[in-house]
Amino acid sequence: LYGIPGDFDVVVIGGGPAGATLSALLSERGRRVLVLDRERFPRYHIGESLIPGFMRPMEELKLLDRLEQRGFEKKHGGTLVWGAQKIPWGFSFIEGGPYSYSYHVRRADLDSLILDRSRELGTHVIEEATVKEAIEEDGRIVGVRYTIRGSEEVQEARAALVVDASGQARVLGRKLTNVNWHEDMRNVAVWTYFDNAARLPGDEYTNILIEGLEGGWFWGIPIDKGTMSVGYVTASAAAAAADDSLEDLFRTQLARSSQLKELLRDARQSSGFRSARDWSYTCDRFYGPGWALVGDAAAFVDPLFSTGVALATLAGSALSKIVDKVLEHPEIEEAALERYATAYRAFFDEIRTFVGKFYDRTKYKEFYWEQAQTIVDPNRERDPREDFVTLVSGLSGRHPLFNISVDDLIAERAATAPVGA
Ligand code: FAD
């Protein structure tokens, strides 16, 4: 009864949104899953503004009521000071359906909530467990070696499949694949928190504010009553060339903003600064014999449209369906993981392509809507503005990630298997 069960179907490295969603949905199907995370939850994480695509896996996890009860701030849309147009413009998620809102969250709370749900469904979670390396035998990944905080003893966990959901740490990806950096998005962010911040007026009260200005852009996220997360993003090269520190750059640029400065007029900074840089990349491969990548461990696109957590949880959900079938039909492993990787890349590339177009700030909003239409609705069947909202909601649905299935692969293999096999 006590201690860690010896054998697992799946070992997941990292209990963030990707790893927690994947493990929860596998445990719900009766799979034996181990999650190892180097931190003790609740732990801090950046990434506080969520898009409606995130609500779909939360519905699968039956977490919608708990999200509501936690009292996270509801996010209905975005307000932008962006492009050639000087007047702010915006969008409401309701225009892109089917989820009309998402949330702004403190990630420490949200990530604990999802990981707790995974535990509740039967996942064995070990916190403060740092994965050091994968165990490879005859070209296949068969487990991981890890240590528990405070001890040097190296432990092993073996499983039929190992999933790397370790975020930007990319524990497996670093060794097993190459990373392609998105050279056009080599950016750096510096952020902090303000108390007593004012809100946008009327219907925009809980919108994220994205304010572009020469050299970079700010996010203003009203995470809860009076507290605003404020971050400045600029090109890494420009920040490195500037004489100012990142903190000074933040202050100088904030003074040059129009909308954000107004919202922060009576606010006071309530924490120190944090920063991150060079975060946009795609791994060459998303899987190999015995392993797969999910969430930031596979790919990450610049946070301009707050897509990270939605992508991580949607991919976690899709991968859970694939892994569940692979455990029962090991003969389809490669083809099934390839299907997952193709669907995930297609979804990711839509967002990445659009973010790249959006960074051209010489255009009017109609140009951005049309770019969205070209990507998600090439036959021009809908209003381009709706296409824009659907895309930035993470709900375009053109790719098969949402409804991924490998039943045809299983049927195909059964049909071609030798009689009596
Ligand atoms: P993570 O949340 O990073 O979880 C990975 C887990 O792996 C962690 O808990 C970590 O402790 C664990 N781990 C790491 N190494 C090991 C190891 N060796 N052994 C064991 N465990 C390990 N996304 C949004 O949706 N909205 C936003 O507004 C937003 N803003 C962002 C702003 C910035 C500046 C940046 C950089 C990102 C932002 N993101 C945003 C992206 C978002 O933070 C990520 O996409 C999201 O956290 C990915 O989830 P994940 O589960 O893949 O990884």
Q: What is the DSSP string of 145-171?
A: EEEETT----EEEEEEEEEE--GGG-T
Q: How confident is the model at residue 3 (pLDDT cuts 50, 70, 90)?
A: very low
Q: Note the Cα 47 to chain centre separation in Å.
A: 8
* Residue in the structure block whose two tokens are 């010489």: 362
Distance from C-alpha of 371 to C-alpha of 26, rounded to nearest angstrom: 37
Span 109-144, pLDDT tens digits: 999 999 999 999 999 999 999 999 999 999 999 999
Residues with a CB atom less than 6 Å from ligand 1: 13-19, 36-39, 45-50, 130-131, 165-167, 169, 171, 189, 276, 279, 295-297, 300, 303, 306-310, 312
pLDDT at 212: 96
Q: Where are the alpha helices (DSSP H) in 148-298?
A: 173-176, 236-241, 246-256, 259-263
| Contacts with 151 (C-beta within 8 Å, 6 or more apart), sequence order | none
Q: What whole-number distance in Å separates Cα of residue 63 and Cα of residue 83?
A: 37
DSSP lists the bridge partners of residue 369 as none
Closest protein CA for atom 52 of ligand 1: 295
**What number does the ligand 1 atom closest to the CA of 189 have?**
34
pLDDT mean over 340-348: 96
Beta strands in 40-154 (DSSP E): 73-75, 77-81, 89-92, 102-104, 124-127, 129-137, 140-148
Q: In angstroms, what CA-CA distances link 206 with 73, 105, 303?
A: 7, 12, 18
Q: CA 356: distance to chain centroid?
A: 18
CA of 275 relative to ligand 1 center, distance in Å: 14
Query: Does residue 416 register a pLDDT over 80?
Result: yes
Work out the pLDDT band at 400, boundaries 50, 70, 90: confident
Q: Which atom of ligand 1 is nearest to the CA of 18?
A: 51
Cβ atoms of 279 and 300 within 8 Å: the answer is: yes
State the pLDDT confidence band at 2, using cuts at 50, 70 and 90: very low
Q: Is 0.90 topped by the overall pTM?
A: yes
DSSP letter (8 states) at residue 290: T
Task: For residue 319, name the pLDDT band (cuts at 50, 70, 90).
Answer: very high
Would you say residue 351 has pLDDT above 50?
yes
Instruction: Flag whether pLDDT at 58 surpasses 50.
Output: yes
Is 418 a residue whose pLDDT tops 90? Answer: no
Q: Using one digit for the tens of pLDDT, what is the confidence trace for 159-189?
A: 999 999 999 999 999 999 999 999 888 999 9
CA distance 223 to 208: 9
- Rounded CA-CA distance 209/211 in Å is 6
How high is the pLDDT of residue 420? Answer: 61
Distances (CA, A) of 98 to 55, 56, 94, 204, 414: 10, 10, 7, 20, 37
The secondary structure of residue 398, as a DSSP letter, is -
Distance, first Cα to last Cα, the chain: 38
**From CA 28, how far away is CA 122, in angstroms rounded?**
7
Phi and psi torsions of 29, nearest 5°: -85, 10
Lowest mean pLDDT among 65-69, 239-243, 391-395: 239-243
Q: In angstroms, what is the span from residue 413 Cα to ligand 1's centroid?
A: 37
| Cβ partners under 8 Å of residue 404, min gap 6 | 318, 321, 322, 339, 340, 343
Nearest CA to ligand 1 atom 6: 14
97: left (phi over 0), alpha (psi -120 to 50) or beta: left
- Compute, in angstroms, the gap from residue 300 CA to the centroid of ligand 1: 10
Predicted confidence at residue 396, as pLDDT, reads 86
User: What's the confidence (pLDDT) of residue 398?
Assistant: 77
Q: Is the ipTM of this complex over 0.90?
A: yes
Summarize pLDDT for 147-160 with one digit per residue, the tens.
999 999 999 999 99
Residue 145 CB partners (closer than 8 Å, separation 6+): 131, 132, 133, 134, 135, 154, 155, 156
C-beta of residue 129 within 8 angstroms of C-beta of residue 36 = yes
Residue among 102, 385, 161, 389 nearest 293 (CA): 161
Question: How many angstroms separate the alpha carbon of residue 204 from the centre of ligand 1?
Answer: 27
Determine the Cα–Cα distance for residues 339 and 311; give it in Å rounded to an integer. 16
Residue nearest to atom 4 of ligand 1 (CA): 16
CA of residue 312 to ligand 1 center, whole Å: 9
Residue found under tokens 């925009």:
204
pLDDT score of 336 more than 90: yes
Sequence-distant (≥ 6) Cβ neighbours of residue 219 within 8 angstroms: 49, 191, 208, 209, 210, 229, 230, 231, 233, 303, 306
Query: How far does the centroid of ligand 1 lie from the alpha carbon of residue 4, in Å?
Result: 26
Q: Is the pLDDT of residue 97 over 80?
A: no
* 87 C-alpha to ligand 1 centroid (Å): 33
How far is CA 12 from its chain centroid? 16
Instruction: Report the percent of the chain where pLDDT is more than 90.
Output: 89
